[in-house]
Chain A
Amino acid sequence: MKKKKAIVALAGQPNCGKSTLFNALTGASQHVANYPGITVEKKTGTYRYNGARVGVVDLPGTYSLTSYPLEERVSRDFLIQEKPSIVVNVADASNLKRNLCFTLQLLEMGARVILDLNMMDVAERRGIEIDCEKLGRRLGIEVVPTVIKNGRGRSELLEAIHRASNSRKRIDHLPVEYKSMEPLLKEIEEGLSGEKALIEHYPARWLAVKLMENDNGARIIIRRSHSNPDELLELALKKRQEFESMHGEVPERHIAYCRIQASEEISRECVMHSAGPAAATLSDRIDRIVCNRFLGPLILVGVIYLLYYLSIVQGYNVTNYTWPFLAKLRELVESIMPAPGFIDEPLMRALALWFMDSINALLNYIPIFLILFSLIALLEDSGYMPRMAFILDRIFQRFGLHGQSTLPMVLGGIYVGGCAVPAVMSCKGIPDERSRLATMLVIPMLNCLAKVPLYVLLINIYFAGHKGLAMFFISTVSILIALPVAKVLTLTVLRGKETAPFIMEIPPYHMPTIKGVLKRAIERVWIFIRKIVTIVAAVAVIIFVLLQFPGLDNGRKAHYDAEKEKAIAAFYKKTLDNPYVGQFCEKELMALILYWDEYKSAKMRANGKEATQALNRKFEKQNPAFFKIVRPGTDRAAKKANRAFKKLVKKRKGLLREIKKERIDNSFLGQIGRIMEPATRWAGFNWRVNVALLSAFAAKESSVATLGVLYQQEEDGETLESRMAKGETDFTPLHALALMLFMVLYPPCIATMIMVKIQSGSVKWMFFSLLYPMVLGVIAATLVFTGGSALGLSGLQAMFAFYGLVLALTVAMGLIKNRSEFK
């Protein structure tokens, strides 16, 4: 047997400050994972006390400890199997009676419990006085009053944990008396008494009560560990029937009733209400407005809009200020890598920059997340969140979702422009497994902000006359697809998943503290960074290989070399007698090109007149000869050199672009695009569109740019629209509509995918969340393209037809009833 270190488990009902206590104890040393195979989060951490390391596990907040639903089972299994040294039962002091039911269950399980009476401030404000000493005596455990959110009682609690984990005292009195049931319980206990190993592990009394309740978990334990399980289970069943026929009451009801009665008794003895209930009604008064039938939804819409506006819209604006720091970081990497040639980039450099771009792109989320998580923590701490779920549950339930799916859906972009990563991350608040997975799986179909530029481009070209209409279509069609899809998922693949009835306790409102909110927000951002960034870094390397290799053959390389020579020769010819250029060797020319690039990117970041002037001075000092060509001023010869040089730079850029395109077409990725053509043809995508789409997803390149490369330039200065319209003569609004719908359904990005893996705790669901929208996307695109062509519809007609179809589907799906296990 290995020696275990001290483990403290935090258990308690929701909304009593359990997570706050967890943070207060563990600080930054936290680890969040899922319990194996399920979507319930497991938070662990450590702290030091008197030199000893203590492990902390934050169990899910639950109202009870039965083997159903999932969260309760997880908590219970942990308490039974892992046998933590100490269980800190966090309870809401202002609502002691209800919390005591939970405490009694813990005691029955034989756990060594410390009762943390948290939120004493709320209790005091309501005129509730608790005699902690008496309560402790009555329960036979230590009771510590705290206000964890501002640190009151923290050290006393730590001391109590320390004391309790060093004492060998066990609780031996019965926490609850089951009155008329006691003799029957005794008989079951006798049937267990011979099983030394079993009782060593599970208290006989607890097993007897659980068997009387016909609890599935207890039956499993008996089956596994009892020497004669059939006989005992039969005995238990007989005793159940005996009780029922004697008292005309179901045993589990009697048990629950006795527990509630015991809690009431204890709370009556130890709690005194000094002031009347006047103070307690502040929450009720607020609720009269916030949960009002008419005002409630209006306030809700306002809160949701504010949340979206502040985090997504304003968050993006903040990134304008934080981005330069990330750009600086990239430049630093750029400067230590080997310099690029005229047309060839050292592999090492390409990889390093690609890697940096991938990481930077994620770090750019941080301001958005910080705002978002602070606001969510604010909503959670204040107690508005459960009210929000309560108001919306009725609608969402029709689609197999849950009241608490609201927040994820809003963040994901219910109208236009959200972000799937925080949306999936916020799914963990949904208490029911089936809805949680369903929400997670449909979020990627919503309109994330990065999809927007492609929509705008296509609408400008193919629906120029009906821009507003087309934008409305694209903004709302995604939710109309997501809702019925969620319903179908819950009726099919998710049918077997556990659901929880919508029982939600509406806690009183609290005033959140700035410290608490910020701490929670920072903690969540940190988890995001640690979880996502490492994985994305690994994947970035793999994708790099897929895009980079096998590369160009020697013939094509020679062709581009010749083009390069031609361009350089043309430059020298034009500047033959130019005093500023004449003497440059090729090496110097390359240095000038790099100088120019550097100057321009520095300028991109410089804000305002003064910064630009400072920049100019800096570059002039660095290399006056180059500066003259880059900024010729009024000098005629320098101006001429500048013009010729700019032409050369443009030519170089063009060559680089061509090489890149050719390399992508030839790459492993490009080959996949070709293989897919027979299947995608029906959706109106030829192989070039496939490659463009694939590389748009794989490469750090917006779809707009990739599609731009796709339709070769024919004349200088021609716009992308005219090129697109001309380049592919058979490209019609139907093609564009099919492409847009495909984009709507396409899962947005690797970060989202990884988030799905983290939140669902399974690779299987990650793949599923990736594949089924793609299949749906191809089906929708095919329907629009092939169907629309067959019926001779125009793009706009097809748009209306499709919209009508999904609208009808949404309404129909809303009317089908989900089979529920709860009556």
Chain B
Amino acid sequence: MKKGLFLIGLMFFGLFQAGQSIAHTPLCSCYDNGDGTITCEGGFSDGSSAAGVEMRVLDSSGKVLVKDRMDEDSEFTCKRPDAPYKVQFDAGPGHLVEINGRDIVE
């Protein structure tokens, strides 16, 4: 009986709840499109979209070359810098992914 009540309760309130804070591991990976541009795709481990997450491309001295956001498909495309660079996916403290330009290949 008690278990039944519990489950009914969960049904009712679960919908306000599920998943929102479940450990979000940020994910981001980039590849070279072979036409002088790179594309990064992001997301979270729970299947959340990363739309709106800030993306930055930095040169080796840390200067920001490009700053933009993930589009609705959780994608970000930009011109590939000629010099060594890195890409940052920044969804806030504890949610930063950094990718070295060397690892972004075709």
Tell whether A489 is near chain B: CB-to-CB under 8 Å: no
Encode B7-24 as 1/0 by CB contact (under 8 A) with A: 101110111111111111
The answer to whether A450 touches B20 (Cβ under 8 A) is: yes
The answer to whether B72 touches A449 (Cβ under 8 A) is: no
The answer to whether B46 touches A709 (Cβ under 8 A) is: no
Stretch at the interface among A191-199, A401-409, A603-611, A796-804: A603-611
Q: Is the interface of A mostly helix, strand, loop or mixed?
A: helix
Encode B53-96 as 1/0 by CB contact (under 8 A) with A: 11000000000000011011110000000000000000111110
Q: Specify which chain A residues have a CB less than 8 angstroms from the CB of B47 in the assembled complex.
A: 357, 361, 700-701
Q: Is the interface of B mostly helix, strand, loop or mixed?
A: loop
User: Considering the chains assembled together, what is the distance between the CA atoms of A416 and B46 in angstroms?
Assistant: 20
User: Considering the chains assembled together, what is the distance between the CA atoms of A181 and B27 in angstroms?
Assistant: 73
> Taking A316-B94, A357-B46, A417-B93 as contacts, is the C-beta distance between A612 and B105 under 8 angstroms?
yes
User: Considering the chains assembled together, what is the distance between the CA atoms of A173 and B94 in angstroms?
Assistant: 64
Contact residues of A between 608 and 666, Cβ < 8 Å to B? 608-609, 612-613, 616, 631-634, 639, 650, 653-654, 657
Q: How many residues of B contact A (CB 8 A)?
A: 53
A-B contacts, 5 listed (Cβ < 8 Å): A313-B94, A417-B93, A449-B23, A450-B22, A751-B22
Tell whether A713 is near chain B: CB-to-CB under 8 Å: yes
The answer to whether A453 touches B91 (Cβ under 8 A) is: yes
Q: Specify which chain A residues have a CB less than 8 angstroms from the CB of B24 in the assembled complex.
A: 449-450, 453, 702
The answer to whether A631 touches B106 (Cβ under 8 A) is: yes
Tell whether A30 is near chain B: CB-to-CB under 8 Å: no
Stretch at the interface among A92-100, A516-524, A576-584, A762-770: A762-770
By Cβ-Cβ distance, the 6 closest A-B pairs, closest first, are: A705-B49, A748-B21, A450-B21, A702-B48, A456-B92, A720-B52
The answer to whether B103 touches A607 (Cβ under 8 A) is: yes
> Taking A416-B93, A417-B93 as contacts, is the C-beta distance between A362 and B29 under 8 angstroms?
no
Contact residues of A between 668 and 717, Cβ < 8 Å to B? 669, 672, 694, 696-705, 707-709, 713, 717
The answer to whether B29 touches A361 (Cβ under 8 A) is: no
The answer to whether A697 touches B46 (Cβ under 8 A) is: no
Residue in A419, A542, A705 whose beta carbon sits within 8 Å of that of B10 in the complex: A542
The answer to whether B11 touches A542 (Cβ under 8 A) is: yes
The answer to whether A368 touches B17 (Cβ under 8 A) is: no
> Taking A364-B23, A698-B19, A749-B21 as contacts, is the C-beta distance between A605 and B52 under 8 angstroms?
no
Contact residues of A between 26 and 55, Cβ < 8 Å to B? none
Residue in A639, A697, A720 whose beta carbon sits within 8 Å of that of B51 in the complex: A720
User: Considering the chains assembled together, what is the distance between the CA atoms of A779 and B95 in angstroms?
Assistant: 30
The answer to whether A543 touches B41 (Cβ under 8 A) is: no
Contact residues of A between 297 and 327, Cβ < 8 Å to B? 312-313, 316, 319-320, 323, 326-327
Q: Specify which chain B residues have a CB less than 8 angstroms from the CB of A606 in the assembled complex.
A: 29
Residue in B7, B9, B14, B72 whose beta carbon sits within 8 Å of that of A709 in the complex: B72
The answer to whether A721 touches B69 (Cβ under 8 A) is: yes
